[in-house]
Chains A and B, each alone.
Chain A
Amino acid sequence: LAKTTQPVSMDSYEGQEVNITCSHNNIATNDYITWYQQFPSQGPRFIIQGYKTKVTNEVASLFIPADRKSSTLSLPRVSLSDTAVYYCLVVGYNNNDMRFGAGTRLTVKP
């Protein structure tokens, strides 16, 4: 079973809000949810981390329901430069499984 499941791709337009959902049904009590962004020819870059409810930083928001079996990365008012692959990764101190999912390829159009 895949550790995390995300949509393969999404399209959006400049100025729109984009929501990318990740399923992680087997998340453990001590696990955290992290999201990364990757541009072509670069290593992934950390975006945001959360445990429950909502987390917001200058880049994005992360919404986590009470059962924590999924999470939604929200990118407000995307621009062309947000075109990238977005990965979610579930991590924890007792969790040594560092397998990223396939990621979601977001394409922002003018």
Chain B
Amino acid sequence: GAGVSQSPSNKVTEKGKDVELRCDPISGHTALYWYRQSLGQGLEFLIYFQGNSAPDKSGLPSDRFSAERTGGSVSTLTIQRTQQEDSAVYLCASSLRTGPSSYEQYFGPGTRLTVT
């Protein structure tokens, strides 16, 4: 079956522009997660959705970052007024999260964002 997909795969933008990153989770997965990873660094948690609600937004780096999820499926991460330090790979993951055997997160291929 289809895995988690993300688009675009690569995005180059100028400093100060807004960008939207999209994540399509695995069908039926209620939980959706956004992370970012700078070159050579570990995973930085950004936000987690359970259904359409986000119990934890504390990982968003600044108020320039926002995310939404509609219909319990597709999610969009928006970065306003991009800065060079926003350059990173943005990873999305989804999971069933309905019981002990369903915490496994399935990751997408990521969106590589470069802010020039």
Contact = CB atoms under 8 A, between A and B. Distances in A.
B25 interface: no
Interface string B78-115: 00000000000001010001011101111111100000
B45 A43 contact: no
Interface footprint category on A: 20 to 34
Contacts, number: 54
A101 B33 contact: no
Looking at chain A's contact residues, the main secondary structure is: loop
Interface footprint category on B: 20 to 34
Given A44-B105, A45-B107, A102 B42 contact: yes
Contact of B45 (A51, A91, A99): A99
Contacts of B35: 98, 100
A13 to B, nearest CB: 24
Interface of B: 33, 35, 42-43, 45, 48, 50, 55-56, 59, 91, 93, 97, 99-101, 103-110
